[in-house]
Amino acid sequence: MKKFILLFIFFGCENEIQLIPNIKNQIIIPKKYYVKKTNNSIEIDGKDDESDWKLAELSEDFIDIEGVKKPYQKTNFKMLWDDQFLYIHATLEEKHVWGDIKERDMVIYHNNDFEVFIDPDGDTYNYGEIEINALGTEWDLFLDKPYRLGGKANSKWDIEGLKSSVHINGSINNFNDIDRDWNVEIAIPLKEISFLKKEDQNTPSHGDIWRVNFSRVQWEFQVEDGKYQRKNNDGKLYPENNWVWSNQGKVNMHIPENWGFVIFTENNHTLDDIDKKLFDVDIKQTAYALFREVMFGNLNYLRELSPGSEIKFESINFNEKELISSFKKTKKDFEIEVRQKENFKRSYLIKQNGILQKNEF
């Protein structure tokens, strides 16, 4: 395929080339969660015994991170918010609750843990991550951009006012019994986390949408010298399980464009206009899928074309829409444009930095 493309470029016919992008299985449509507002106080004790928690929507069961295998233990979450905090309560089924990391900001996912990823403005840059193990040890960290684009984790970033607690139905680090589950409750200060937004740093109001995902890291274990340990074979660790709320498509939580949509709602407001804010999701996610394929996948060779080269992709039929897309090699790197065939007034452009922008004509 690469030789075929370069042959046409040599004869100056690059604008006539059409490629068939094999990306349908890479277009991820994220899940949605409508988080209700509460006017009552929530005690952060790991329990969900306040009356408002009974009214909060329970999430779907977590799935495998690649969306293929079914986890052997259930995980669910629910959320609430008020003017100060975003509240999260998660229940993790677990027959053997254990943990040994006690120091804050250590690498918590070396234990079984629960993880929260938040990008308040949804541009895939400047996002926060919170990890908690069954001992209640926290790790909060900040990334300026995803690892795939050269981002680096900053563990010195602490969310001022963050609250969390763990409640165990069973015991911890006792391999002689069978436990039921462990529960994580978190209160994330909205003022602090809103500083991650590039422009409007106001705390959320009805109808605002943040990109959020949740992950559960689950290790196979063995007991040695009376203690739980991650299972290994001659010193080589068994791979961990990664269970998530919204499908990531591959074993990588740092694909922010595939995180779910968390939609803030208030009971005295209508929901009619909220879904309109999620228009063109399939077109945007197609643009992201093409971006990943050009940056890191089978279409990576297109980046070697000479500046000014343009490639038209064969149209993609997805969710009953025909999507038209193209690739253009620029002096700096590349641009990908995607639009619905019937709509000439709006398209989406994504460049090598991975940031999506809307073009309206």
The 10s digit of each residue's pLDDT in 310-324 is 999 999 999 999 999
Q: Are 72 and 220 in contact (CB under 8 A)?
A: no
For residue 12, pLDDT over 90 is answered with no
CA distance 138 to 129: 10
CA distance 266 to 35: 9
> What pLDDT sits at residue 17?
62
Task: Determine whether domain 32-266 maps to CATH 2.40.50.140.
Answer: no
Phi-psi region of 230 (alpha: psi -120 to 50; beta: other; left: phi over 0): beta
CA distance 318 to 284: 12
> What pLDDT sits at residue 196?
97
Q: What is the mean pLDDT of residues 329-333?
A: 92
Instruction: Return the minimum-mean-pLDDT range out of 8-12, 28-32, 96-100, 280-284.
Output: 8-12
Share of the chain above pLDDT 70, in %: 95
Closest to 163 measured CA to CA, from 184, 177, 135: 184
Could you report the per-residue pLDDT of 51-80, keeping only the tens digit for each? 999 999 999 999 999 987 899 999 999 999
CA angle 316, 328, 23 (to 5 degrees): 30
For residue 206, pLDDT over 50 is answered with yes
Residue 16: pLDDT band (50, 70, 90) is low
Which residues of the chain does CATH 2.60.40.1190 include? 32-266
Residue scoring higher pLDDT (125 or 361): 125
> What pLDDT sits at residue 69?
84
> What pLDDT sits at residue 276?
80
Instruction: Return the minimum-mean-pLDDT range out of 4-8, 84-88, 242-246.
Output: 4-8
Residue 2: pLDDT band (50, 70, 90) is very low
CA distance 143 to 165: 24
3-state secondary structure the chain: CHHHHHHHHHCCCHHHCEECCCCHHHCCCCCEEEEEECCCCCCCCCCCCCHHHHHCCCCCCCEECCCCCCCCCCEEEEEEECCCEEEEEEEEECCCCCCCCCCCCCCHHHCCEEEEEEECCCCCCCEEEEEEECCCCEEEEEECCCHHHCCCEECCCCCCCCEEEEEEECCCCCCCCCCCEEEEEEEEEHHHHHCCCCCCCCCCCCCCEEEEEEEEEECCEEEECCEEEECEECCEECCCEEEECCCCCCCCCCCHHHCEEEEEECCCCCCCCCHHHHCCHHHHHHHHHHHHHHHHCCCHHHHHCCCCCEEEEEEEEECCEEEEEEEEECCCCEEEEEEECCCCCEEEEEECCCCEEEEEC
> What pLDDT sits at residue 225?
94
Residue 113: pLDDT band (50, 70, 90) is very high
> What pLDDT sits at residue 10?
36
Q: What is the mean pLDDT of residues 126-132?
A: 98
Q: What is the mean pLDDT of residues 125-149?
A: 98
Residue 7: pLDDT band (50, 70, 90) is very low
Closest to 88 measured CA to CA, from 123, 133, 36, 141: 36
Q: Are 36 and 265 in contact (CB under 8 A)?
A: yes
